[in-house]
Structure 1
Amino acid sequence: MEPKTKVRWVDEKRVYVETPQGDDFIVGFQNESLYQCQRQTKWFQVDKFLASLFDKYYKGDASVIMGEINRQMLINNVGLIFSYYSFDKESVSKERVRIGQRIRELREAKGMDAKHLAFYADIDAANLCRIESGKYSVGLDILSKIGYALGMKVDFVEPKH
């Protein structure tokens, strides 16, 4: 059965969690090992396992993330949750993560690594990584450069509700 909670990798150490209750979190792991394991093996799906734990234990109280959910990850030898951040529905950070994820998706679909995209967009590679991970807000000028380098146009869209 597919979990109701949605979990997507933001970068090698963090996942974005959307619960059926409408709460959103960034959950951080200690290092990149869980991400690497998931990429290298089809049967080890950390995101799906974490989603199933959120489905089972999360009922609106975020304390279960570092409590029972983290405990279940340790019991099952999956890993350790190092940190989490809760989003307000109107949070600008949530939008930064969404934009960063989309840039990464488009870049990977074109078969580009971050260094090449940064070079073609004429921006700093470290800043591109921060944008993709949702740590930096991207202005229209930089977004236009990234879009041009990816062969995409920047368009204004209606917000998701």
Structure 2
Amino acid sequence: MATEFKSKAIVIDDKIVEVFAPDGEIFSLLTRIGMYTNEETRRYELHLVEYVFDKNFSEDKEIMANTIWRDLMLNGITFMGLSSGDRQGERTRIGNKIREIREVKGIEAKDLAKLANVDAANLSRIEKGKYSVGLDILSRIAFVLGHQIDIVPTQM
């Protein structure tokens, strides 16, 4: 396959392939692609994985994961599992903080969504850590809550 993809899949070992999604997030795929002795077959399947990730890339990681599962199976890629990405912890932490601030201030989720001009379903996914929120949306939510986004050192 001569096609170049935004996603990049690499074999880590016999059972793991890491996929760098277009936004730089890293997903691990439990598959046997690394066990193939035929390099051409290995490259072909890695390109199929890259194609599937490019085709299904979304800021909504829950939808993205579901469509990737389906399309990997439809394209004949044998796999047993897919990680939630290496940024899931941060999405969850940020979403929990937004919910916590909103609840302390006594603001209903639907009202926050309306004031921040965010779809209520997306706000719910953000609060649950299932949506990779962009800086513009995060800034609007923070402003409505009376906060600002700040760069602070990670607490160790």
TM-score by length of 2: 0.45
**Which structure has the greater CA radius of gyration?**
2
Q: TM-score, normalised by structure 1?
A: 0.43
